[in-house]
């Protein structure tokens, strides 16, 4: 098969991947994309997540391609928890081709208001209702966990990048040894219709972390890339109802694409970044938002 054929260029068959927060939402979409294309995927989530059910469904999905999944619970809020993830992975693998550091949380102010119309006193009270612990937890999961997990697994990623391929080239030339961190388009605009201050701030930190880690890992060409998804349905971001946790209402219909992101959208960008097709991309983040950021700043 020619090197430019899709089957070679975007191949992840046989590659070892870890996906955090892989039991729902974006993480599950990414896991499906990898498994259905022949990857060996370790999926970790919270103890309360349906880990066994997700593992079974992913293994069923991977039967045709040879992909498979192993699910396990993980704690990303401490170095001890991240050390446990590293130890678990090392008990099974000698290298890691792909790290998808995806898990994230959102903590909205307990006292909500219409930020577009609320009088000063009401807006101030809403903003003040956010707690230090909510901000701390947001940074723990949305920024710090990406840092410590990438560092804990650096040698396994470097081993993948340095591996020798059948044609004599290095694994890095085929995209092996890559970290992809999930951020959000919340870091790219100042939309005023909703209050996601702590979330957006952590995601902005995540964007910068991508380039910081990439520069530190550059000597081994362990690549670090980011994705900035727009509206994508998940447990954290239910969409279409306009009630309860759905703070976005009908905004999805105002996106130029006229829809939310789907499995194909997320799987496609990941397959590009972690394969030979994206092997020359490092230290950069890519927005997958259907055009949302074209009009988001201060408008909607």
Taking alpha carbons only, the member of 141, 275, 116 closest to residue 205 is: 141
- Binning pLDDT at 50, 70 and 90, where does residue 2 land? low
Q: Average pLDDT of the chain?
A: 91
118 vs 145 pLDDT, higher one: 145
Which residues have a Cβ under 8 Å from the Cβ of 236 and sit 6 or more positions away? 25, 104, 105, 106, 245
Q: How far apart are CA 287 and CA 185, in angstroms?
A: 7
C-beta separation of 257 from 183 below 8 A: no
> What confidence tens digit (pLDDT) does each residue in 248-281 have?
656 777 788 988 889 999 999 999 999 999 999 9
pLDDT at 111 over 50: yes
Percent of the chain predicted with pLDDT > 70: 91
Q: Under DSSP, is residue 205 helix (H, G, I), strand (E, B) or coil?
A: helix
- Binning pLDDT at 50, 70 and 90, where does residue 297 land? low
Q: What does the pLDDT read at residue 199?
A: 92
Q: What does the pLDDT read at residue 238?
A: 59
Q: How far, rounded to the nearest angstrom, does the alpha carbon of residue 131 sit from its chain's CA centroid? A: 25
Taking alpha carbons only, the member of 222, 178, 245 closest to residue 39 is: 178
- Binning pLDDT at 50, 70 and 90, where does residue 178 land? very high
191 vs 212 pLDDT, higher one: 212
Location of structure tokens 């903003």: 127
Q: What does the pLDDT read at residue 241?
A: 45
Phi/psi of residue 203, nearest 5 degrees? -70, -35
Residue 249 falls in which region: left (phi positive, over 0), alpha (psi -120 to 50) or beta? left
Q: Under DSSP, is residue 88 helix (H, G, I), strand (E, B) or coil?
A: helix
pLDDT at 298 over 80: no
Q: Under DSSP, is residue 99 helix (H, G, I), strand (E, B) or coil?
A: strand
Average pLDDT over residues 130-152: 96
Phi/psi of residue 98, nearest 5 degrees? -140, 125
Location of structure tokens 């701030």: 201
> What confidence tens digit (pLDDT) does each residue in 58-86 have?
999 999 999 999 999 999 999 999 999 99
Give the pTM.
0.93
CATH class belonging to 12-294: alpha beta
pLDDT at 209 over 90: yes
Average pLDDT over residues 146-162: 98
Distances (CA, A) of 247 to 96, 112, 126: 37, 10, 15
The token duo for 136 is 């701390």
Q: How far apart are CA 68 and CA 22, in angstroms?
A: 14
Q: What does the pLDDT read at residue 293?
A: 85
Taking alpha carbons only, the member of 104, 110, 98 closest to residue 17 is: 98
pLDDT at 245 over 80: no
For residue 61, how many other CB atoms are within 10 A of its CB?
Answer: 17
Q: How far apart are CA 26 and CA 186, in angstroms?
A: 15
Q: What does the pLDDT read at residue 193?
A: 62
Residue 69 falls in which region: left (phi positive, over 0), alpha (psi -120 to 50) or beta? beta
- Binning pLDDT at 50, 70 and 90, where does residue 300 land? very low
Q: What does the pLDDT read at residue 130?
A: 93
Q: What does the pLDDT read at residue 50?
A: 95
């Amino acid at each position: 098969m020619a090197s430019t054929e899709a089957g070679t260029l975007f191949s992840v068959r046989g590659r070892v991947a870890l996906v955090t927060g892989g039991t729902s939402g974006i993480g599950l979409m990414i896991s499906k994309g990898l498994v259905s294309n022949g990857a060996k995927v370790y999926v970790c989530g919270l103890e309360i997540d349906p880990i066994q059910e997700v593992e079974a469904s992913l293994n069923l999905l991977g039967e045709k391609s040879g992909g498979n999944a192993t699910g396990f619970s993980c704690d990303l809020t401490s170095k001890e928890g991240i050390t446990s993830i590293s130890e678990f992975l090392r008990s099974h693998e000698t290298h890691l081709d792909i790290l998808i550091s995806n898990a994230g949380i959102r903590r909205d102010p307990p006292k909500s208001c219409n930020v577009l119309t609320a009088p000063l006193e009401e807006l101030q009270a809403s903003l003040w209702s956010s707690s230090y612990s909510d901000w701390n937890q947001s940074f723990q999961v949305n920024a710090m966990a990406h840092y410590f997990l990438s560092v804990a697994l650096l040698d396994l990623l470097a081993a993948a990048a340095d591996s020798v391929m059948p044609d004599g080239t290095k694994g890095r030339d085929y995209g092996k040894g890559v970290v992809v961190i999930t951020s959000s388009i919340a870091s790219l605009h100042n939309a005023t219709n909703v209050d996601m201050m702590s979330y957006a701030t952590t995601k902005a930190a995540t964007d910068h972390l991508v380039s910081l880690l990439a520069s530190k890992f550059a000597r081994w060409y362990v690549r670090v890339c980011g994705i900035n998804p727009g509206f994508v349905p998940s447990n954290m971001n239910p969409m279409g109802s306009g009630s309860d946790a759905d703070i976005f209402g009908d905004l999805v219909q105002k996106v130029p694409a006229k829809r939310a992101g789907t499995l194909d959208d997320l799987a496609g960008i990941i397959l590009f970044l972690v394969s030979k097709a994206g092997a020359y991309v490092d230290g950069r983040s890519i927005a997958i938002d259907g055009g949302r950021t074209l009009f988001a700043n201060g408008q909607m």
